[in-house]
């Protein structure tokens, strides 16, 4: 193991510094309907078009009345009824109550709602059943309690998920300005690769990293641009890198180890690359390469420095997935104008101890399955997925996270609270 390689933490810091630079650049924006908005990044703040709720709103089926009168258990005359969708009723006179449904406007003068289960109504006379009492404000959400007209409810950079889309709808926005997704070129390299539609001959394998990386890019907010796989020779790689020139971010898989046919680094160097690191002390994924290429015509960004980030991801599928999640995803979210911070980690209880680590000094990311259906007040439990090294795609597909084994740890014990990388 070369000690010249950055540690995991050092590599994270190098990538974060580049991501911070990219965050300063404003991606261009486009307008999408709410139906197309899931996962997109808001380009402008969302403002409340009116108070939320727009009127004092009953949260219960029952009777609007005065808390002081109801709590004294006086008989109150039921003088009217409002259900959700009806205009607010007129002022409520003393000694009166107003039947009201959940979501309906509370008439002025009433300061509480008695739940239907807590009253008796005899011949139009309502009484709160003793010993119950009511406080002013009970079962009512005041007008504007959640937001005032003109309040900023969502910041630019917010990733639109179901709740944010619902909020936009509540504010009358049928369409939203969102950032144009960064275009991410995905270039698989390797003489052994054939497209998924082809029948591999002995010695060949299907290019599974291409579709996997495309899916990872889409989930992280990018627009995947799958290039045809490139062969392991200088000419093919130079041509493929030239083809990827218009991308906002470039992901290359394979060809970054130290083998005779690992020709990606020299090809990047010929294209004018500046390397931030060529290897990280992690496992899997140690040969990961990260740097910047000069940009000829970036589509989306006003990039004064005219560079674009690239990652040379190791070809083994587990290595490709881990290195994407740890390093490429945060750069992608920065390019996307997103405030979301990736990668996502969580804490869990380790179901059974890890093997003794033979090569300390590497931060390890082991495929694992976390049972998030934990019982109340307990951390979810995570178990390692048996695997046969970083080429074990089937094991990767059985995992829903990676167990993080810190570089100084030789072994993590059963029952330890551990960090997991979610994916």
Provide the binding-site residues for ligand AMP, judged by CB under 6 A: 188, 190, 193, 205, 207-210, 253-255, 257, 259, 262, 314-317, 391
**Cβ neighbours for 78, distance < 8 A, ≥ 6 positions apart:** 63, 96, 97, 98, 99, 121, 124, 125, 126
67, 90, 140 from 100: Cα distances, Å: 15, 13, 11
Q: How far is CA 287 from the centre of its chain?
A: 27
Closer Cβ to ligand AMP, 227 or 273, answer by number: 227
Closer Cβ to ligand AMP, 171 or 188, answer by number: 188
Smallest gap from residue 331 Cβ to Mg ion (A):
23
Region from 69-77, 180-188, 189-197, 200-208 binding Mg ion, contact rule CB under 5 A: 189-197
Smallest gap from residue 191 Cβ to Mg ion (A):
7
Q: How many CB atoms lie within 10 A of CB 83?
A: 12
> Does the bond joining 340 to the residue before it have cis omega, within 30 degrees of 0?
no
Smallest gap from residue 14 Cβ to Mg ion (A):
25
Which helix (H) or strand (E) segment holds residue 7: the answer is none
Smallest gap from residue 262 Cβ to ligand AMP (A):
6
Smallest gap from residue 240 Cβ to ligand AMP (A):
13
73, 279, 308, 344, 360 from 283: Cα distances, Å: 71, 11, 26, 18, 10
Per CB under 5 A, 27 contacts Mg ion? no
Candidates 53, 190, 343, 367: give the one binding Mg ion (CB under 5 A): 190
Closer Cβ to ligand AMP, 209 or 363, answer by number: 209
Region from 100-108, 239-247, 311-319, 386-394 binding Mg ion, contact rule CB under 5 A: 311-319
| Whether 159 contacts 168, CB under 8 Å | no
Smallest gap from residue 163 Cβ to Mg ion (A):
43
Q: CA 88, CA 82: separation in Å to the nearest integer?
A: 8
Residue 316 interacting partner from Mg ion, ligand AMP, none (CB closer than 5 to 8 Å by kind): ligand AMP
Q: Which residue of this chain has its Cβ atom nearest to ligand AMP in the complex?
A: 315
| Whether 308 contacts 298, CB under 8 Å | yes
Q: DSSP secondary-structure letter at 301?
A: B
Candidates 105, 107, 254, 279: give the one binding Mg ion (CB under 5 A): 254
Q: Using CB under 5 A, list all residues that contact Mg ion.
A: 190, 254-255, 315
């Amino acid at each position: 193991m070369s000690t010249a390689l950055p540690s995991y933490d050092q590599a994270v810091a190098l990538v974060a510094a580049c991501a911070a630079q990219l965050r300063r650049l404003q991606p261009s924006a486009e307008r999408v309907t709410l139906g197309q908005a899931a996962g997109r990044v808001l380009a402008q703040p969302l403002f409340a078009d009116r108070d939320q709720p727009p009127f004092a709103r009953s949260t219960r089926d029952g009777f609007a009345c005065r808390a002081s009168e109801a709590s004294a258990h006086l008989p109150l005359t039921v003088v009217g009824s409002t259900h959700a969708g009806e205009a607010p009723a007129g002022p409520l006179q003393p000694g009166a109550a107003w039947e009201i449904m959940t979501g309906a406007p509370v008439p002025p003068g009433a300061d509480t709602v008695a739940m239907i289960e807590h009253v008796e109504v005899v011949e139009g006379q309502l009484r709160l059943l003793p010993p119950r009492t009511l406080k002013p404000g009970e079962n009512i959400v005041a007008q504007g309690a959640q937001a005032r007209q003109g309040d900023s409810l969502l910041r630019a950079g917010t990733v639109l998920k179901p709740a944010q889309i619902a909020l936009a709808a509540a504010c009358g926005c049928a369409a939203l300005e969102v950032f144009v997704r960064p275009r991410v070129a995905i270039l698989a390299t390797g003489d052994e690769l054939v497209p998924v539609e082809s029948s591999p001959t002995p010695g060949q394998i299907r290019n599974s990293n291409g579709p996997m990386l495309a899916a990872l890019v889409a989930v992280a907010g990018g627009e995947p641009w799958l290039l045809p796989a490139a062969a392991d020779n200088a000419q093919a790689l130079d041509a493929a890198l030239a083809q990827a020139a218009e991308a906002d971010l470039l992901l290359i898989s394979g060809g970054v180890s130290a083998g005779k046919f690992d020709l990606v680094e020299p090809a990047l160097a010929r294209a004018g690359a500046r390397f931030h690191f060529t290897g990280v002390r992690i496992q899997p994924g140690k040969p990961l390469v990260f740097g910047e290429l000069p940009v000829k015509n970036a589509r989306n960004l006003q990039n004064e420095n005219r560079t674009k980030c690239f990652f040379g991801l190791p070809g083994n599928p587990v290595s490709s997935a881990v290195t994407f999640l740890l390093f490429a995803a945060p750069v992608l979210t920065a390019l996307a104008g997103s405030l979301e911070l990736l990668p996502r980690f969580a804490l869990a209880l380790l179901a059974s101890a890890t093997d003794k680590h033979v090569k300390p000094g590497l931060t390890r990311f082991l495929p694992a399955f976390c049972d998030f259906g934990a019982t109340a007040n307990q951390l979810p439990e995570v178990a390692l997925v048996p695997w046969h090294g970083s080429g074990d795609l089937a094991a990767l597909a059985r995992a829903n996270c990676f167990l993080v084994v810190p570089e100084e740890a030789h072994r993590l014990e059963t029952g330890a609270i551990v960090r997991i990388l979610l994916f």
